Chain A
Amino acid sequence: MTYELTISRLIPATPEEVFDAYTDPEKQKIWFNIIGEPGIIEATADLRVGGYITNVWGKSEDELFRETNTIRVFDRPNHLATSSSGSDPSGMTMDTEVDIRFEAVDGGTLMTVVQSGFPSEEMRDFFNTYAWVGAFDRITKFLEQAAR
């Protein structure tokens, strides 16, 4: 019912170094802006299960994206799992699950990210075909009856 995206990369450092650089707010501010358009980046974190990693970034104050990750698994340096809540400058939000593995391989660390829970076409179709059409007919009937 939902989509996921997977992306992996070989990073030339040990799993400990990569895990720490990925989760440390001060290092995030550095590496996030090495590539791509420079802009505003804020990072805060409370690194423990139940804690958070929050990033705010954008080209200007009016175009800020925010992502709050609530930490579910904090297993340094192998595994980090979070529940992610992202919001765009218009206020639209998307809740997903993020699972990151750090695996020691020749040449460094293979970092694999799986982000899941994006609603699928089928789920949208379910709402449009069943939940909405039927629900609004029933709500309208209910309101009409209540008005009598």
Chain B
Amino acid sequence: MVQEQVLDRAFAALADSTRRGILARLGEGPATIGQLAEPSGMTLTGLKKHVQVLEDAGLVTTAKVGRTRECRLGPDRLEDAAGWISFYQKLWERRLDGLEAYFLLKKGIDS
């Protein structure tokens, strides 16, 4: 996403008081969906929807921890960009090596 779109989503996400409350709570530290829902009296489903909007805006990241989903202030994904680049580098090497080997083997069998 370009910077403009990132900002559009972030501001749209911040336009809701429940979501600002969630961000303020996460400012104190990571919390599970259940922990976020408790003080607000919201249902888990309702809260999950708000968290999803914040996540889509890049304001919050979530990760599975055991059976629960832990939320924290984003954007962790930006910190991890270098990790993803090296992950994909290895993945593409494996894919292209695999394709090359596939055709070398096929040629060997065919000839």
**Chain A residues at the B interface, C-beta cutoff of 8 Å:** 1, 3, 5, 7, 9-13, 17-18, 21-22, 27, 30-36, 86, 88, 90-96, 108, 111, 113, 115, 117-120, 123-124, 126-127, 131-132, 135-136, 139-140, 142-143, 146
Contacts and interface: CB of A to CB of B under 8 A. Distances in A.
Given A91-B62, A93-B77, A32 B103 contact: no
Contacts of A21: 99, 102-103
Nearest to A89: B64
A12 B96 contact: no
A110 B11 CA distance: 44
Interface of B is mostly: helix
Given A7-B96, A9-B99, A143-B20, 6 more contacts: A12-B103, A22-B99, A94-B84, A113-B96, A127-B74, A136-B23
B101 interface: yes
Nearest to B10: A131
Contacts of B85: 3, 5, 118
Contacts of B23: 136, 139
A131 B98 CA distance: 43
Interface residues of B, number: 48
Interface of A is mostly: mixed
Contact of A124 (B62, B73, B75, B105): B75
A93 B64 CA distance: 12
B44 interface: no
User: Of B69, B74, B88, which is in contact with the most chain A CB atoms at under 10 Å from its CB?
Assistant: B88
7 contacts: A3-B85, A7-B92, A31-B98, A31-B99, A31-B101, A32-B95, A123-B3
A59 B64 CA distance: 19
B96 A111 contact: yes
Contacts of B17: 146
B4 to A, nearest CB: 11
A139 B20 contact: yes
B81 A119 contact: yes
B92 A113 contact: yes
A27 B103 CA distance: 11
Contact of A126 (B3, B62, B73, B80): B3
Contacts of B61: 92
Contacts of B79: 124
B24 interface: yes
A3 B98 CA distance: 25
A21 to B, nearest CB: 6
